[in-house]
A and B are shown apart, each in its own frame.
Chain A
Amino acid sequence: MANILVVAEHDNATLKPATLNAVTAAGTIGGDIHVLVAGKGAQAAAEAASKVAGVAKVLLADDSAYEHQLPEDVAPLVVATAKGGYGHVLAGATSVGKNLAPRVAALLDVAAISDITGVVSADTFERPIYAGNAIATVQSKDAVKVVTVRTTAFETAAATGGSASVEPVSGAGAAGLSRFVSAELTKSERPELTAARVVVSGGRGMQSGENFPLLEALADKLGAAVGASRAAVDAGFVPNDYQVGQTGKIVAPELYIAVGISGAIQHLAGMKDSKVIVAINKDEEAPIFQVADYGLVADLFKAVPELEQAL
């Protein structure tokens, strides 16, 4: 059986959880799992990868060209590595993985399989289409399967217990097509949206960004992350990285609380796999109630502070 190459997502110092979901998906395919860490001064991330349960080998490409992991530079490295005898290349279906995987696939002249939610066999996968309103089972006959993994569909692999070797590898370095200029990262003490146990999301019903502290107070009581609908992001209440949905982030927490969100299919696509859904909306006809385990028909400006007090 051919080996599986998982492309690590990391910030040079630590491994992002999406890598652990991809390792679990790799484990269900079968074959030795190797993790490629491309970065600059990324020894710590490589060591973290070597401790992940189920990982047989870590390949570390440490080069200043890979500092910001631009796809123009990293894709040729992944392609060169994959040609060394891998049957699968996996990455998390995050903004990094989605940016990289199709570029790798095209360079290998193979299809890419986006956002899988299930592994049927080594060449057959399940993936949601039409905002999750249909699930397609697709088969690839290509020699290498390039796959991104929906993180909420696979458990995270244990971050400890493994003892893989770390081998240095080198690539062609900078392709000279793109340069990193700057990043504006949202700072938050709260858990990361896609990894949080509880998510509290606000929609257009919040009326303005000034009202979001109501949700933040509730989130802090619950140890929750704060999310939003597209309408709330478009209106400028909160930054873009808060958006939950078909074209935003996919979340599946234990508890999802939707506040002032109507429940458009594009929003539901991002949260309907949550274990328990609570909806607070003043319109009893709102479609969100069709997926909510517990619905509260109420004015959010009254109900949210009350809920926060009751916890």
Chain B
Amino acid sequence: MRILVPVKRVVDYNVKIRVKADGSGVETANVKMSMNPFDEIAVEEAVRLKEAGKASEIVAVSVGPAQAQETLRTALAMGADRAILVQTDAETQPLAVAKVLKALVEKEGPQLVILGKQAIDDDCNQTGQMLAALLGWGQGTFASKVVPGEGSVAVTREIDGGLETVDLTLPAIVTADLRLNEPRYASLPNIMKAKKKPLETVTPDSLGVDVAPRLTTLTVVEPARRKAGVKVADVATLVDKLKTEARVI
């Protein structure tokens, strides 16, 4: 079974982002970029399935600028076998990414596509569900456990009330949540080996996909800041403040 893992290059989760003064977006020049943390979990899951003999090949894919090659190299160092960059400098919204991925799925024929549940920049939480819709496949979103079987895969999902398990006919889509696994760090030898693994570059055009954005961002602004509060000396003062000043208890 072949597994496709889409990985996105995003601003590192430790970076304190800055909104551009002209309100056009968030400053992404000269900030540290990394693989979206949920996508590391997705890659790890694919690698573990391969190590367990349940998958034969892992193909990592990214849709984005030339620099997304670094993100793909990280996926290769973690254990993906080869990579495809769908190169575009256009703003890539989830529907467009899903259409690109659909074209690649049709070419590569994977049985499973494992994505992250959300990218931590735009926090959309859409791409996997959209890809599933376009392909007419089942979707196991927010997965905390993935157990492939004969012709189907059981996915345990983190839902608002607890956990839910669904059984999906293969091929299927899975989106990774935090508790699915703890991704490994790529070792130095594996980072070196990754440099020699195949990385193919294609364009949305060559796949026949129109990636024009559907949503226009009018402005991006900073949220209202909370006023810093006070430190209280002890529990008695805290209770008093909550009762008489804040009046919430």
Contact = CB atoms under 8 A, between A and B. Distances in A.
Interface of A: 70-72, 75, 94-96, 98-107, 109-115, 124, 128-142, 176-186, 194, 198, 222, 230, 233-234, 239-241, 243, 246-247, 249, 254-255, 265-266, 272, 275-278, 284, 289-298, 303, 306-307, 310-311
Nearest to A309: B235
B79 interface: no
A17 to B, nearest CB: 11
Interface stretch (B65-73, B114-122, B187-195): B114-122
A230 B215 contact: no
A297 B231 contact: yes
B223 A103 contact: no
Interface residues of B, number: 79
19 contacts: A95-B160, A103-B139, A114-B123, A114-B126, A129-B123, A177-B137, A177-B169, A181-B167, A182-B164, A239-B163, A240-B179, A241-B161, A276-B242, A278-B238, A284-B231, A293-B246, A294-B229, A295-B232, A298-B235
B29 interface: no
B132 interface: yes
Contacts of B144: 240
A70 B137 CA distance: 12
Contacts of B118: 247
A278 B242 contact: yes
B33 interface: no
A163 B112 CA distance: 47
Contact of B166 (A176, A179, A289, A297): A179
A111 B168 contact: no
B129 A142 contact: no
A247 B239 contact: no
A276 B246 contact: yes
Interface of B: 11, 13, 16-17, 19, 26, 38, 93-95, 98, 117-118, 120-134, 136-139, 141-142, 144, 154, 157-169, 172, 177-179, 214-223, 226, 228-232, 234-236, 238-239, 241-242, 246, 248-249
B162 A247 contact: no
Nearest to A177: B138
Contact of A137 (B130, B218, B229): B218
Given A106-B134, A137-B217, A240 B26 contact: no
A95 B166 CA distance: 14
